[in-house]
Amino acid sequence: MSLIAKNLSVTYGTGSGRELVALDDINFEIARGEFVTIIGPSGCGKSTLLHCLGGMLKPSSGVVTLDEEPIRGPDARRAAFVFQDYTLLPWRQVLQNAVLGLRFDGVPKAKANAKGEEMLALVGLSDFREAYPRELSGGMQQRVAIARAMCMEPGILLMDEPFGALDEQTRRQLGFEMARMLSERDSTVVMVTHSLDEAIMWADRILVMSARPGRIAKEIRVTAPRPRTHDYIATEEFAALRSELFTLLDQDNVSDLAESVDR
C-alpha cells in the first residue's frame, strides 16, 4: 500500500484576478506504516498539499493515488483528517463526537459505539465518554479528534498542525502518546508541523518545503527506530538533524525576503 503524489500542482485564483501558484510539481511516495512530517515556511503550501492528499481540494494538475486508486474526493475511510483547531461538536458528548464519522457512514449505533470506546481507551479518555467538549482541556479535545479519525481506520491519517493550539508541555506529552499509539498500530501518517523538534521526533522521513511556489526542497530520513523516547532528543543524530533543518529553513526565508525586496 502506498500513497503517491504525482506532478501535483495547485494554482489559486485570487481576488485581485492574479493567479497564485501554491504548489509546483510535487512528487513523492509514502509507504504503509510510514510516518512523514512536512515542514516549511508559513504560506508555502503545506495545508494545500494536505488538502489535496485528503481529496478536499482538486489539484490544478497531477494526481494523488492511494493503493493505486486516485483520490477524487473526501473519504475518511481512505484518508482521515485531524485539524489544528478542535473540531468537536459542542452539543455532543465525547463518545458521540468520536463516532461521528462512523454514524455518518451508516454504521449501526452499537457497532460504532464499540469502536468509539476502543479508540477512546487508546487515547486515554474512557472515563470522559459522557463529558461535553467544554469540560475537557485543549489536549483532551484534540485526543478526541484523533480518536474520531482513528475510528475510521483510515488508510492514511492526515494531521495539519494537530498540536498547534497546545502549550509546549501538553504538546510534547500528547505527541509522545500519539506517536507510540500510531507506531504500534503501524498507521500511515502525514503530519504538518511548525516545530522542528516534532518534525524530527516522530518521523521516518521529513519533507522540507520551500517558500512559494511550494516545492519539496529536501527529503530527510530519520533512521532511528520508532517510537522514540525523550532520550532521543539528547542524541547527536537529533542535534545534527535539527541543525540541518534550521539551516534549510533559514535559507528559505532569506531567499523569500530577497524576492519581496526585488518586487
Ligand X SMILES: Nc1ncnc2c1ncn2[C@@H]1O[C@H](COP(=O)(O)OP(=O)(O)OP(=O)(O)O)[C@@H](O)[C@H]1O
Summarize as ranges the residues that interact with ligand X (CB under 6 A).
12, 14, 20, 22, 40, 42-48, 212
Q: How far is the CB of 214 from Mg ion (least distance, A)?
A: 11
- Which of Mg ion, ligand X, none has residue 113 at its interface (CB below 5 to 8 Å by kind)? none
Q: How far is the CB of 169 from Mg ion (least distance, A)?
A: 23
Contact between 97 and Mg ion per CB under 5 A = no
Site string for Mg ion, 16-55 (x = CB under 5 A): -------------------------------x--------
Nearer to Mg ion, 38 or 99 (CB): 38
**Any residues with CB less than 8 A from the CB of 225 and at least 6 apart, and which?**
none
| C-beta of residue 81 within 8 angstroms of C-beta of residue 133 | no
Distance, in Å, from the CA atom of 157 to the CA atom of 203, rounded to the nearest integer, reads 14
Residue 105, CA distances (Å) to 42, 108, 155 in order: 35, 9, 16
Distance, in Å, from the CA atom of 98 to the CA atom of 150, rounded to the nearest integer, reads 9
Which run of H or E residues covers position 2? strand 2-13
Nearer to ligand X, 51 or 143 (CB): 51
AA letter at 111 = K
- Which of ligand X, Mg ion, none has residue 44 at its interface (CB below 5 to 8 Å by kind)? ligand X
Q: Length of the chain in residues, anyone?
A: 263
- Which of Mg ion, ligand X, none has residue 169 at its interface (CB below 5 to 8 Å by kind)? none
Q: How far is the CB of 20 from ligand X (least distance, A)?
A: 5
Site for Mg ion in 132-161 (CB under 5 A): none
User: Side by side, which strands form the sheet with 35-39?
Assistant: 79-82, 156-160, 189-192, 35-39, 205-209, 216-221
The binding site for Mg ion (CB under 5 A) comprises 47
